[in-house]
Structure 1
Amino acid sequence: MKQIKLTNTNPERLDVAVSRDLELSRTKIQRAIKNEQIFVDDSKAIAHQLVSDKNKVFYDPKITEVVKKSKSKPAPLDIIYEDKNVIVINKPAGVIVHDTETNTEPTLVDALIKHEKKIAKVGDRAERAGLVHRLDKAASGIMIIAKNQKAFEFLKDKFQSRTVEKHYTVLVQGHMPDAHGTIDFTIERSKTTGRMAAKPTSQGGKPAITHYDVVEKFPHHTLLDIKIETGRTHQIRAHMFALEHPVVGDTLYRQKGVKPRDIGRIFLHARALTIELPNGETKTFEAPLPNELKQVLEEIPKL
């Protein structure tokens, strides 16, 4: 059995807390509880019992295993840099980073393992082999991957200590209130919509910090350079939505009654990443704006 460190300070249902922290469906967690694969404080668990970070929760690692499904071959990697410890790639939009319970598409992890088989044994969980951070399926840009366990621990520490500088090119609806700004709304998963909800810091949730600079204004849109200090799930998308300036193309975080511009993806591109590598060098990696996003900028009206 493995112990999971719960992140909620206030009591909530066991199945909700474990589902969030293991990033598995509540149905799967409830099934695991019924099959006695989850215990609380060395006692048999009940799905609706209340738990917090003060409880010791143990689970059978088998519940995190993803059933292998028939897939097509993964696309070749767009490699920007590679040494004996890391691979830096430019992820295209439309590629899911790692497997989920229902995914049947080839993933970035599949492509990484095809490129170098030993990556399959790197990391904390098999389906996330080599991964120290993620990008949404509908987003594109720079990602760094560990090729061995020592590099994985090194990079993981860099991300957790917030010493990695990450910049994104993002097009949003409307005009931002200022040319430069910082959003520090906390983020937590909504119990009603399943989306990440950004709220003022007094309302709980995990800390999240997003800095933005206006690059160019259009009649109905604004192009931003965004730097994030934290890496919460859907952080940029949730923060922009909270300010009522959703990311162009975002069908999940959108205003009611407003049909998002159909660009086949979201206009969110991880353009640059600066990080210290396991070999001691500090490097900045950049990925050019994809052609489909350049085309969007060419097509929208100018001021």
Structure 2
Amino acid sequence: MREPEIIYEDESVLVLNKPAGLAVHQDNFNREPALTDWLVGKYPNIADVGEDKTRPGLVHRLDKDTSGVMVVAKTGEAFVNLKNQFKTRSVRKFYLALLVGELKSEIGAEKVIDWPIGRSARDPRVRVASRKAFGQLRPAETRFTIRAKADGYTLVAAELITGRTHQLRAHFKAYQHPIACDSLYGTGNKCPAGLARQALHAWRLALTLPSGEKREFEATISADFKQALDKLGIAC
């Protein structure tokens, strides 16, 4: 199992850089060792933190093949505090995503995708940003800035205003510029050389620690993502 990098730690929280390929927790589709196994192995007391014994300490999650920054609660008090921050949307979450196609707007342009998300009627794993989605549609908002363009790709920095499942993947698919290498949402699974998973990295996380201190944490971009950007001549 690839182990996460510890970015920050105190008596109540742990901030990690999760590697791509590591599931956050096990479920019906994944029985491989997960981040929660590493957490409980290194911090046994975390096993009793939280509302769900299968997700100890977790106050949010990342997809298995998305790398980047996560915060984990080490105590019950920290769990309640952090969950409330995510619920009230006071946590700011920023991602780097490499999109298929070069957007027409200039570098530095700021955009907003404000389309509701629901389940796909064809595949329950997939979320769709469409009025034709299955079941209840939930409001979803993504803001992003164009950082670079090269060789048929666009690098964007995106902020999740809401936190729907697969929000960025579904929004950029509906925007006609899916995330590169995304086999579930991508068009033809177009990939830059050197990358074999969705080109999505949880870059920065801004929150208030349970101690009351406001902090922003940044996760170094993973080697495979950086290699792909380097080959495209894109500086991150």
Taking structure 1 as the reference length, the TM-score comes to: 0.71
Name the counterpart of 1:276: 208
C-alpha separation in 2, matches of 1:89 and 1:267: 19
- Tell me, yes or no, if the aligned pair for 2:117 and 2:133 is still in contact at 8 Å: no
8 Å contact kept, 2:5–2:17: yes
State the 1:199 CA deviation. Answer: 1.9
Take 1:292 and 1:80, find their aligned partners in 2: how far apart are those partners?
19
Which of 245, 250, 255 aligns to 2:182? It is 250
Of the three residues 247, 261, 273, the one matched with 2:191 is: 261
Which of 99, 114, 120 is the matching residue for 1:172? Answer: 99
Is the aligned partner of 1:142 residue 2:142?
no
User: What residue is the counterpart of 1:227 in the other structure?
Assistant: 159
1:197 maps to what in 2?
128
- Alpha-carbon offset, residue 187 of structure 1: 0.8
Structure 2: distance between partners of 1:81 and 1:165: 17
Partner amino acid, structure 2, of 1:294: K
Cα distance between partner residues in 1 of 2:166 and 2:133? 20
**Distance verdict in 2 for CA 1:202–1:299, change over 3 Å:** closer
Alpha-carbon separation, structure 2, partners of 1:159 and 1:300: 35
* Contact 1:184–1:201 (8 Å) recurs in 2: no
C-alpha spacing 1:238/1:120, structure 2 compared with 1 (3 Å)? same
How far the C-alpha of 1:176 sits from its partner, in A, is: 2.7
Question: Partners in 2 of 1:231 and 1:77 — Cα distance?
Answer: 22
TM-score, structure 2 as length reference: 0.91
In the alignment, structure 2 segments of 5+ residues that lack a partner are none
Checking the alignment, whether the CA contact within 8 Å between 1:142 and 1:271 is kept in structure 2 is: yes
Q: Which has the higher helix share?
A: 1
- Residues 148-193 of structure 1 show CA distances to partners (whole Å, capped at 9, x for unaligned) of 1111110000001011111111100012353211001111111212
Q: What does 1:151-166 align with in structure 2 at a 5 Å threshold?
A: 151-166=78-93
SS of the residue 1:141 aligns to:
strand
Q: How does 1:48-67 map to 2 (within 5 A)?
A: none
Contact 1:184–1:200 under 8 Å retained in 2: no
C-alpha distance in 1, partners of 2:47/2:103?
A: 43
Of 102-111 and 78-87, more deviation after overlay is shown by 102-111
Instruction: Name which of 52, 56, 59 aligns with 1:125.
Output: 52
Distance 2:2 2:229 in 1: 27
Letter in 2 for 1:164: V
- The whole-number CA distance in structure 1 between the counterparts of 2:133 and 2:153 is 30
Question: Per the alignment, do residues 80 and 223 of structure 1 end up closer, same or farther by CA in structure 2, a change over 3 Å counting?
Answer: same
Q: Select 2:113's aligned residue among 156, 163, 183.
A: 183
Q: Which runs of 4+ in 1 moved over 6 A?
A: none
Name structure 1 gaps, 5 residues minimum.
1-73
| Equivalent residue letter for 1:81 | Y
CA displacement at 1:225 relative to structure 2: 0.5
Contact 1:188 1:206 in 2 (8 A): yes
Aligned-pair CA distance for 1:202? 11
Identity %, equivalent residues = 41
Cα shift at 1:197: 0.6
Provide the residue aligned with 1:209 in structure 2. 141
Q: Equivalent residue of 1:275, what SS? A: strand
Paired residues, what number? 227
Alpha carbons 2:98, 2:156 under 8 Å: kept: yes
Pair 1:221–1:102, CA change in 2 (3 A) = closer
CA RMSD, aligned part only? 1.9
Equivalent residue of 2:137, what SS? coil
Task: Supply the distance in 2 between the matched residues of 1:286 and 1:78 (Cα, whole angstroms).
Answer: 12
Equivalent position amino acid for 1:172 in 2? L
User: Which of these two proteins has the greater Rg computed from alpha carbons?
Assistant: 1
Q: Is the 8 A contact 1:213 1:226 kept in 2?
A: yes
Task: State whether residues 182 and 212 of structure 1, in contact with CA within 8 Å, keep that contact through their aligned partners in structure 2.
Answer: yes
